[in-house]
Structure 1
């Protein structure tokens, strides 16, 4: 069963002693959660590079980024390795920019898992941000 997912609002893209991660706010049909999504180096670099830049080349600072919950897969030639791209949205007031970035097969697969398997907040309880806070 498929459900319609909102985009994931990015709060932070960083790394710590556990590894690279995206801190995101995720809205599901039964609530909103803040999660820590661990990501590989390749995907991290593609996302970090885009969210640290000023997409609209504007001095206005009220903007945010979202991850669209799907990936694009294509092959340049028959029998070649597939290429995976994730999609970010940069939102500043009423302007929206779509940014594609190269990502790993693993990252694309995790987006697909989220889209196909996650239906309620309880499905992502293991990713809740507070589970990763040091005590």
Structure 2
């Protein structure tokens, strides 16, 4: 079982792996950045969460998986006052009876324009 760098096509790649696959498991993350320009998208937590979740969706689909196969998320947000807005968008991506395990951490993010970053553990689609 080897380690493989995987993901969706990007015009503006970053130095970090978009996703890492080991066997049936996928480790990835989402940030509120436009894949084509590298620019942060959105001025509100809702806009940034939507972009982040869409980036996660694109990455997982590029790996042969989907949002349905997310097992655990760790959401990092830059303030307690942003939790409700993030949750409002985040939970629209999952059926109410099948949300992944999640931890939410209040943290200062590396890019001061970003309000959210979400780490994801997922698996490949069930055969």
Quickly name the TM-score band, shorter chain normalised.
under 0.3
Identify, as 1 or 2, the structure richer in strand: 1
Structure (1 or 2) with the larger CA radius of gyration: 1
Which of structures 1 and 2 has the larger relative contact order (alpha carbons within 8 angstroms, sep 6+)? 2
